[in-house]
Each structure stands twice: as structure tokens, then as C-alpha cells.
Structure 1
Amino acid sequence: MHVDLVIKNAFIYQTPTRNFAKKNVAIVGDKFYYVSDARMEQLTIKETIEAEGQYMIPGLIDIHMHIESSMTTPAIFSETALRYGVTTVVADAHEMANVFGLEGLKEFMSAPTKMDIFHAIPSSVPSTTPELETTGGMIGLAEVKELLKDPRVICLGEAMNFKGIAYEPDSLIRQIIALCKKERPTMPLEGHIPKIYDKELADFLLSGISSDHTHQFPEYLLEKIHAGLFIEFQDKSITPENMAVIVEHAFYDFACFITDDIMADDFLTGHLNKNLMKAVQCGLPIEEAIYMTTYTPARRMSLNDRGMIAPGRVADFILLDDLNAFLIAAVYKSGEKVYQKDQPIAYPKQIEQFPENYYQSVQCKKLTKADLDLPVETKKEHVRCNVIQKEAIGTFTKRITKTLAVKEQKLAWKEAQLAQLIVMERYGKNGNIGRALMNQPIQEKGAIATTWAHDHHNLMVMGNEEESIIKAQHALLEMQGGYVVVKEGEILAKCPLPIGGILSQAPIEELGQALRKVREAMQTLGYENMNEIMSFSTLSLPVSPAIKVTDKGMMDTKLQTFYPLVFPEDGVLVHAPVN
């Protein structure tokens, strides 16, 4: 038998028993052929690698992630993630779809990459309904039907419209789920499940959704897993308490690790490999952590040709110099070496070409000082207002009330040490402007602006003084999207994302450094969160608890109703958002 490659004397990961054994592995083409402790002298071998002292594990598989969260393109993402041992991903490109619809999704899917990129059907474009937010594109039944014909599409992406899924039989998301069940009866239906339990959880799961990747808490993990949910742990859910639940109940087959969102600056230092090691540091045995980043996710997505080192499986694997430190010596994709330790990123010689209009997609008015006044019709000197309070951990927010003075028939929002949060429709469809007030989100005078605003990606700007708000918004329009941070009218940092306002084709080192400066500038302003970028970007996500802002206004995300900025019995805001 002629074989292309033999890995000799490595400690091979044994998926069925979750341990290591010293063996030799033969590879033919892009598949594993023979795994044995025999010397393989009977084979005709083209190349042999002596791996004495090294550990060999399957390539890592990330089944829930968004390439756009790294703010880069599929080809650049592939080259970067491979160096961290990630050989297969299931991408939910709902950010691209929210901006450009099915056309944008097809642009993403057409990109040539070394890693295998499978796709989820974006189920939430928009994340709620057109009545609650304006998006550039929509994915409806016709688009879903077309996507279901593509073999690269292997699951329904995170369904997150709680009300539509649980209580509205005729909602678009329920129709999408029904279509998927009809055309692909065994296809996984992925869920983004809010803080619901008991009967509400049952109401949601009756739809057929069977996974959850949101923020997990140990007191509810048992309930969720017993309810049939497959748990996908992202970084913020990898805690000692959650891992203790998994270990205590040996729930290794009922969960896996994912990245969901890896920012461009974090991408400079790792990807799914970091989550694997974090799980180990939180008490999970490393053998089980490997199982939950290789075989378990492959089985969840019915990727039965990969996820273990065995005959007939795709020859995706990692050689480790040190198992406990997870030091990667080399990465192989389909039997070919794609990364060697200390090798720089091998960027594609020819970058992807996007349509010209993708670079001129941010279309909205320039803000003026007059736009930042908040006139209110009232006879009172003080009025009560609904105000957003963000939390320092995670992406949760809550509604509080504040009493504001009214001076010259305008809300004295600056005197109350509040900031304005403005979301502007940017697709040239209706010119909507949604407004809210936030309770001291920053400590210094300044503003933050972005078009990377989940999931609609309208233009969002927040600040506590007019000059900085205007400066940030104007800079964002000039860049055609990205992130900008301003302090006292001066730009501290910016990260251009000119492709649809969400992506860049800059080298990942350059992009990551720019975003890192944005993060540091946000910290300089006093914006506090464990992930400043994600926290700010989800202030506009109308399916994330508990109060967020779209171009239609300030919204209770569970009930999907809008809060008035001023309590109706106290007054009426004159230029409320157009609906």
C-alpha cells in the first residue's frame, strides 16, 4: 500500500476512551488510513515525520461562530485561525446578511479558503422584525429555501426571537423552522435562548430548537441539559462553577466549546484553542476538553467524516510539543501542513473582491448640534425618564428611571450626568433616528461611535457632550464604517471597516492593533466592561436582555415593546423616532 505521510511515535488521542496512546498514523491523500503501534514497514511511504514526545490530536471544530466578529474576510480568517489548530468552522454570517441580504451571504460563501467553512442559515435577518428595526437585507422563506439546496449549509443559525418562536405560530421564524424541518428533517436547529426557564423554556423548545450558546449559569445548566439542550460554551460561560457541573455529571457528550465572537485584537493571540485551555484552567480534564472541541461538535453537526483520528476520517490534526500548555508545533488540514510553529500568517496572494457598492454603504445625515437637543412638551420643571444602565460583565442592560430638569423646554441631560445613545438608520430607507439616555456609561467627556452594531449594523453613537458626538459621527461617515473613539472633541482611536461598515481587508495584525487602540481609548473614557467592544456593539441588539435601542427607539427586548424616553404622564419628547 502506498501512503503519503506517516506520523511516527506520537502520543495519539484516542477519542472513544479519551486518553493517549503511543502509535503510528498513516495518511493517504486527505484521509487517515491506518492507526497502529506496528512499525508499518509493509507500507510504501512517501514522507515520514518523527513525532517522538509530541501529542497528536484532531483539528479543532468550532460549530457556532461569526467570521464578521473578527471584522475580517473569510480568506484572512482562515489563514489566521488555522495557526491555532482550528480546521473546521460552522459560520453564521448573519451580520453580512443583515447588511447585504442573500447576496452578501453568497459573497462570503464563495471565498476560497484552506479551512473547511460550513454555513448556518441566518435565521435572524432581521433579529426581530422590520417593525422593530431596519436592516439592509432580509432572509425570508424564499432565501431559506434557496440556501437549503446548498450542501455547505448544515444547520439553522441561532434562532433568537423568543416571542415569535414561543408564542406566535405565524411568525416568520416559525415559518423558517417549519421549512427547515420539511426540507431537512434531521438538520440541527440552533438557538440563542434568553433568560427563560421552566414552562417558558418548554414553550421555546417545542419549536424543535435543541441548542443554546448564550451566557450560562450553573444553577440552570442541569435544567437545560435535562430539557434536551446541547450547550455550546462561549468564553464568558467557561467558569469553574459551570465546568464543575459538567464534570460532576459527566455531561461531556452534551456540550462543546465555541467562540461565537472573537474580536480582531483578541484574534492576534488565539481562537478556539484559548477556550479549550480556559476550560482546563477552570477544572475540566484536558482529555475531555479536547473531546468537547473535536468529536462532540462534529457529532452535533453530523460531520461524521472528522473529529477523530481514525481510518477514513479527514486528516485534520495538530501536533503539540506540550499537551498541558497546548503548545502547537504544526497544524495539518486534509493531510497537508498549513502551519509550522513561529511561521507568519500566509496571506492569500489575491484578496477577495467585493462589489463596489459594498465600500459605500453607510448613507445617513451628518449630525448637528441642534440634532442633539431633546425638546419636550411639558408644563413641569422636572420629568421622569427611562434610562439604560449597562452592566460591567456581559452584555446585559437594565432599565432605571431618572428625574431630569427641563430648561427652556429641553431635557437637561448633560447636567444629569447622562449620555445620549443614538441609532441612525444607515441604508437610505427611512432616515429613522432612535434615541435613548444612558446612566454614566463613560466617566470622561467624549463619545464612541460604530457601524458594527448588532445585528442591524445601523450607525450608533453614544456620548456625553455634543462636540465629541458630532466629531465621532462625522468621522464614521467619512470612513464608511468602523469604530471611532473621541475625547473632548479629539479622535483618540479609530478602526476603519469599509466593507459594509463591518469588515476590513487589512492584515489581521494591522486590524487587531487598530481595534486594540479603540478598546484602550474606550477604557480611557471610563467605559467599563469585560469586553468593551462587544458590550457597546450589543447596546443595539434587540434580542439581548433587557433594554436596547434600534433605529425605531428604546426597546424592552423580551416583550418587544418600546419605552418612551419621557414618562407619558410627565411630557412628550418632540422629535421622537419616526416609526
Structure 2
Amino acid sequence: MNVQRYRKIARVTLGRSPADLVLKNGRILNVFSGEILPASIAIKDGLIAGTGEDFFGKEERDLEGRFVVPGFIDAHLHLESTMVSPNELVSTAARFGTTCFIVDPHEAANVSGADGINYILNQTSHSPANVYVMLPSCVPATKLDDNGAEFSAEEMRQYVHHPRVLGLGEVMDNPSVISGDKAMFAKLCLFEKMMIDGHAPFLPERELSAYALAGIRSDHEATSFDYAREEIRRGIHVHIREGSAAHNLRAIVEGILESGCNTENFSFCTDDKHIEDILREGHISYNIRLAISLGLDPVKAYQMASINTARLYGLRQLGAIAPGYQADLVVLDSLEEVSVSSVYFKGELLRSDAELRIRSCPVSLRHSVHLDPVSPKSFLLPIRLEETPVITLNPGEITTTEESAALEKCRNFQPELYPGYLKIASVERHKNSGKIGCAVAKGYGLRGGAVASSVSHDSHNILVIGDSDEAMAMAVNELIRVQGGYTLVYNGAVYDTLPLPIMGLMSDEGYEEVDRHLQHMKNKAHEMGVPEGVDPFITLSFLSLPVIPELRITPRGLCQVGENGPKLLKL
């Protein structure tokens, strides 16, 4: 803060001039002392000038004893995974109290490289919240990936001093870190004085220590408290994830409560949360509410949603209600229920009826499916082994389990002959290389058709799962036609399609249109046998990610993910 601004705001702090706004009669959560104090809040130029009882302002509002807490921070998320335009998602989640988003745009980067990152930065430059970016570290995610672009350390250099870039995004190529790969360390060294996020599911203890030694300071992939505690012990801050696909909060919070573990090194994140889930249950507000309902001290829950994350990322003006902090505030009717009465960003009230602005997208990002039409023969899957590896879904998780099945040897696997089993394929769509990998899957349950998606982490090729080659081909060709999206084929015809023309990941038609298609297809997919605990599209989209155990499908074939990284399996 320069001296001129300081002098202006200090006059309010000292009671010598009026604040722009005074919020009177609140009960303020002090995240530093852990106290809840009755006080008013004086705001000047978007900052908190002070808290107390003796302020006067040009405008004064009576909070009538409501609680006031710092604006919530989502410690890690991918805006692209919400399927709506970035500003629409940010604006919607902000109404539920999330006033800061730490975004990793690696979905966009895997499709369109730097152009995709610039799209995310530009789209959120005037959003009603703080939106920061962690530069994607692994584009592509592994050496087995077939994605649309590469993002090297040299290309990252132009962003190092960008005011909204905080550091390096989730480092998921663990073998390259642990082996001291030169290209990986070029990126790590470029950001050694900034924040470096991790992505380290299930590393053994020595490898986890080597991972931390490389300077990685956070991770959002812990699914159990025991693993989270091992990370904390090594100085790795744990982001507790609760989104649309992965639900890790209960296990970790219950472990915190049972062990009495210090919560200063925990934060909340959503990672991937669809807008319909936000509207139904909230955003980071839901994480807080669930944690409190499990027995976590409300003060600790709110600290995990604010100051813990702000300190980790060096956001010195965010995360607290104190002099000099940005006036990002959430007014609550109930501390335990996290019932949001109003939200302030930089001291301005966010109006729930404000029109959501959907900004235009460059034409170059709207044509990203470069693929010739496929035929049923594209999905031939010979069975040659006595025991065939099977991708088995784990409901409520993005992990899978490796199982095996004694399928009859044949020239082409026919799912209709095996109840409970389906064929899954990944079709390379960026360079029209002709690569198509096929495998057997279990736990998805679909009968009578196929589901396809151009959202398939992290390379975002076209994923399709179904019980016949004809239905699978029809689904893939439909996504070629609309240049990406979700589609469902039923009884020999396309039942419905949600076009996602922005990089094959997002729509700019608005939430209502997205939700109309999505709910229509979800309901039908469940009628066709997809279990209620499996999201037909989100779950499918993660079955291609070759950094999450145990089996994945890629355009190169079935991939086994272990502690030494991914390797292709022969069928």
C-alpha cells in the first residue's frame, strides 16, 4: 500500500473521516485468535479500515447480530470441468460465499496450449471474485498421453510475473520428479520461489519424501486420513477435496477428529464441481457445512476455508477480517449451517439477481475435434488371454480397481454376452492419428446403447462406453458433428447431446441450457442401468487419466498405473 492510500484509509481507521461503508452489529469471526467478537466493520476503498464500535460511514447497514466470516477460498479447481463459461461459474459460486478461486487451467492447456490458458485468464479478468492461476505443469500429463498441445518451461516463462499467476500447478508426473528428470526440474526451478502444487496419490513413504524434497508444497489427492497425515508430516499442505466426482472430506475430517491433528495445514477445495451441484448444495460452503456436521470445530472449519489457504499461497490481503485485508466478507444467518445471507467482494455487495455475463470465445478455440468419422469396426477388441484385465469402477471415487475376468477368447469382445461388462474406448481427437484404444469395463451398468464424452482427463480425447460397437460408433460420430460434448445413444439412435464447442470442454449457452441436456441424459442413463452412485458423465471422464490408479484407457490402449508411473498392458 502506498503512503497516499494508507493516509486516506488510516483516517477512517482513526475515526477522523467516514468509511465508504460500515456494517454494524455483526458477530465477527477472528481467524487469528479464534474468537467471535461483536463489532462493526469499516470499509474504505475495498479494504477493511478497522473493526470495532465507533466507526461512521457514508453508508451504514445493520447486520442485526448476524455472523461475518472471511470470504471462502477454493484452494484448487478446474473451471473447464464445470462445462459452463468461466465467468458464469465464478459468478455463481461467489453467491455462495467463495470469493477466491485458485485455478489450474490444465484442461484447456492440454487441448489448446497457451491459447487455452489465455482464455481462462481473459474470461475471469473482471469476475466478481479473486481468480488466480497456477500454470499447468504436466501438459501432457505423461509420456503415454496423446493431447493437443505441449506447455514447456520456456513457454511458462512469459507468465512468471503475471499478477494473477501464483506458481506451478499440480505436478502429476511423479516418476519424473522422483527420478530427477531434467525437463521436469526446469519447471520446478522456474517456480522455486513461488508456490508449487502437487498431485501425489498413493506414493510410498520414501517416494513421498523425495516428492516433497523437490519443493512441492500441496496436494489434493489424499483419499484417506492416514495418507493425508503422511503428507502433512513432510510439509505438504493437504487440500481436502469434495467435488462432483471425488468425495474425500468425510474420511479425512473424521481422521482429524479422531487423532486430534492440527488443522493449520489443511484447506478445502472442489477440484471439479458442476454448476448444478453448486446450485443444489453450495460450493466451499458445502465443504464447511459437512465438516462441521461431522464434529469439526466451526472456527477451524472456517480457518481451513480462508486464512490457511491464503497463507499457503502468499495472498497477504485475503483470508481474514482485520485492518488492511480486502473486504471479502460472507454474512451468515447460522455459523453451523453456513446459511449465506449476503456476500461482499472488495466491499461491494454481490447481488443475487445480477445478470451473468457470458463473454465471447475466440473462433480458433471452437474447432478442436480433428477426427474422421469412425465405424463399428473401429472398436474391435480381440480377447486373447486366459484372464483379461478389467477396469472396475469405484463408486464415489475417481480411482478404479484392476480385476480380471475369464472371458472366452474371440476376435471381438461382445458385451451383450456378458452381463455387467461393457466395452470402453478412447479415440484420439487432436491430430486425427487414428489411435483408438479399447478395453473391458465393469461397474458402469449401461445397457441398450452408449455414452461418449470429449471431456476426458487430462488429454481430452473422446471416451466412449457401450454395449455394442454400432452404438459406440454412433456416439463418437455425433461428437465429431457438434465439435465436442456429451452424448447418449439409446436403442439405435442419438437420444440427446450436450454440445461443448469451446475446446470440447465448455458451453457458452448458459447454465440452463447445459443443465437441460445434462439432466435429460443423466436420467436416461440411470434408466439404462448406470448405478445411482455413478455419475454417467463425470465418472466416465476420469477413466482416461493415466496418473490415477489402477487401470485407465488411452488411445494407445489399456494402461496400468502404479508407483513407477503408467504402463501399457497387452490384451
Scaled by the length of structure 2, the TM-score of the pair is 0.91
User: Alignment partner for residue 279 of structure 1, among 287, 291, 294?
Assistant: 291
1:364-418 Cα shifts (integer Å, max 9, x gaps): 1222122233357x7xxx75432222222301112222233345x4445542343
Taking the TM superposition and a 5 Å limit, the aligned residue runs for 1:343-492 are: 343-344=352-353, 346-348=355-357, 351-374=358-381, 383-407=386-410, 409-417=411-419, 418-439=421-442, 441-492=444-495
Shift of 1:304: 0.6
In structure 2, how many angstroms separate the alpha carbons of the residues matched to 1:312 and 1:5?
15
| Residues 265 and 516 in structure 1, CA contact (< 8 A), matched pair in contact too | no
Q: Which runs of 5+ in 2 are unaligned?
A: 1-16
Alignment of 1:509 onto 2:512: yes
Shift of 1:134: 1.1
In structure 1, how many angstroms separate the alpha carbons of the residues matched to 2:37 and 2:211?
44
1:245 paired residue number: 256
Shift of 1:485: 1.9
In structure 2, how many angstroms separate the alpha carbons of the residues matched to 1:56 and 1:64?
24
Shift of 1:200: 2.1
| Residues 232 and 258 in structure 1, CA contact (< 8 A), matched pair in contact too | yes
2:265 paired residue number: 254
For the residue of structure 1 that corresponds to 2:486, the secondary structure is: strand
RMSD: 2.0
Shift of 1:241: 5.7
User: Alignment partner for residue 544 of structure 2, among 521, 524, 540?
Assistant: 540
Shift of 1:522: 2.9
In structure 1, how many angstroms separate the alpha carbons of the residues matched to 2:414 and 2:457?
29
2:236 paired residue number: 229
Match for 1:124: what amino acid?
C
Shift of 1:17: 2.0
Shift of 1:464: 1.0
Percent identical pairs in the alignment equals: 28
Match for 1:335: what amino acid?
G
In structure 1, how many angstroms separate the alpha carbons of the residues matched to 2:264 and 2:443?
44
Q: Which runs of 5+ in 1 are unaligned?
A: 567-579
User: Alignment partner for residue 35 of structure 2, among 19, 28, 37?
Assistant: 19
Distance 1:120 1:440, change over 3 A: closer
1:194 paired residue number: 201
Distance 1:515 1:459, change over 3 A: same
Alignment of 1:204 onto 2:216: no
1:571 paired residue number: none
Distance 1:384 1:247, change over 3 A: closer
Match for 1:163: what amino acid?
P
1:123-164 Cα shifts (integer Å, max 9, x gaps): 1211112xx111111110111211212121102111011211
| Residues 7 and 49 in structure 1, CA contact (< 8 A), matched pair in contact too | yes
Match for 1:416: what amino acid?
Y
Match for 2:449: what amino acid?
G
Match for 1:368: what amino acid?
S
In structure 2, how many angstroms separate the alpha carbons of the residues matched to 1:281 and 1:489?
46
Scaled by the length of structure 1, the TM-score of the pair is 0.89
In structure 2, how many angstroms separate the alpha carbons of the residues matched to 1:396 and 1:241?
17
1:92 paired residue number: 104
Alignment of 1:177 onto 2:212: no
2:14 paired residue number: none
Shift of 1:248: 4.1
1:72 paired residue number: 84
1:279-312 Cα shifts (integer Å, max 9, x gaps): 1112112221111101111111110111111111
Distance 1:521 1:330, change over 3 A: same
Q: What number of residue pairs does the alignment pair up?
A: 545
2:221 paired residue number: 214
Match for 2:137: what amino acid?
S
Match for 2:368: what amino acid?
S
